[in-house]
């Protein structure tokens, strides 16, 4: 039976696996879950931080007479999972319980495999995908290691603050791009645009009033205005009201 999960409900399913991850990397993974959800693809994190002992146990699988398939080539201390900069994911089916590693599944019926959509979003966020590795491809694996090797991590090296800040800056930019007006806000904005056109045609001023200059600049920056010249007093007043309401700070203009 298909079940509709809210984003918060979906994210809670990964909470335990996010414990112990580097704080910035954790934010990136949370953003990945959000962006995939927006595309109609549900994912859960199945592996996060591993201890050396847990890594050694995984390494032993498929070796020394164990007939199970091998799942890793890394011993304890030789996986980025051991340092909080790697995570594995799986698709969550629409029953809200079953996970899948089917790379061809397309639950959102957009003709693009859900797995491919996750990888696409992951790369936009700056994550490295284990499916790109030349040997021992690890399809569910994602990491962000900032050019550091596991030897570097074992030696105590960590990403610089500048590197971490660059990731945070990317996330902030994506947040602004992702933020959209609601249907009600779009309808109201369209009505205001029509009103602005009427006002613009009457009582034109020869110069933009000083008090409206910044509002006009902000409106032009998001494409709400082509030009601020030859507007009326009411036109500039309306643009200023919209700007103070934060409309031009959203980075989205209703089409």
pLDDT at residue 199 greater than cutoff 60: no
Q: What is the mean pLDDT of residues 144-164?
A: 96
Q: What is the pLDDT of residue 213?
A: 86
Q: What is the mean pLDDT of residues 198-206?
A: 62
User: Between β-strands 43-47 and 128-129, what pairing exists: parallel, antiparallel or unpaired?
Assistant: unpaired
Q: What is the mean pLDDT of residues 90-101?
A: 92
Whether the Cβ atoms of residue 89 and residue 81 lie closer than 8 Å to each other: no
Strand runs labelled E in 93-244: 99-100, 128-129, 141-143
Distance, CA of 222 to chain centre: 22
Q: ∠18-22-25 over CA atoms, to 5°?
A: 80
Query: From the DSSP assignment, how many helices (H) and strands (E) are in the chain?
Result: 10, 5
Structural domains present in the chain: 7-178 (3.30.1380.10), 183-249 (no CATH)
The number of C-alpha atoms within 13 Å of 102 and in the hemisphere containing its C-beta is 13
CA distance 224 to 29: 34
pLDDT band at 252 (very low <50, low <70, confident <90, very high): very low
Mean pLDDT value across the chain:
86
């Amino acid at each position: 039976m298909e079940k509709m999960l809210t984003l918060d409900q979906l994210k809670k399913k990964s909470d335990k696996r996010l414990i112990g991850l580097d704080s910035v990397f954790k934010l990136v993974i949370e953003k990945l879950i959000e962006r995939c959800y927006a595309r109609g693809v549900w994912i859960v994190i199945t592996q996060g931080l591993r201890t050396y002992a847990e890594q050694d146990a995984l390494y032993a699988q498929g070796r020394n007479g164990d007939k199970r398939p091998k799942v890793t080539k890394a011993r304890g201390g030789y996986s980025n999972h051991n340092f909080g900069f790697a995570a594995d994911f799986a698709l969550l089916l629409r029953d809200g319980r079953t996970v899948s590693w089917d790379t061809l599944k397309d639950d959102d019926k957009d003709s693009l495999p859900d797995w491919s959509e996750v990888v696409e979003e992951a790369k936009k966020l700056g994550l490295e995908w284990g499916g790109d590795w030349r040997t021992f491809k690890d399809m569910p694996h994602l990491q962000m290691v900032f050019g550091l090797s596991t030897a570097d991590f074992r030696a105590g090296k960590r990403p610089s603050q500048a590197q971490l800040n660059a990731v945070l800056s990317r996330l902030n930019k994506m947040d602004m791009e992702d933020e959209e007006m609601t249907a009600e806000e779009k309808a109201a904005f369209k009505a205001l645009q029509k009103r602005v056109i009427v006002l613009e045609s009457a009582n034109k001023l020869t110069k933009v009033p000083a008090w409206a200059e910044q509002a006009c600049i902000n409106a032009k920056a998001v494409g709400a205005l082509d030009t601020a010249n030859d507007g009326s007093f009411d036109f500039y007043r309306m643009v200023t009201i919209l700007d103070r309401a934060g409309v031009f700070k959203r980075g989205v203009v209703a089409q």
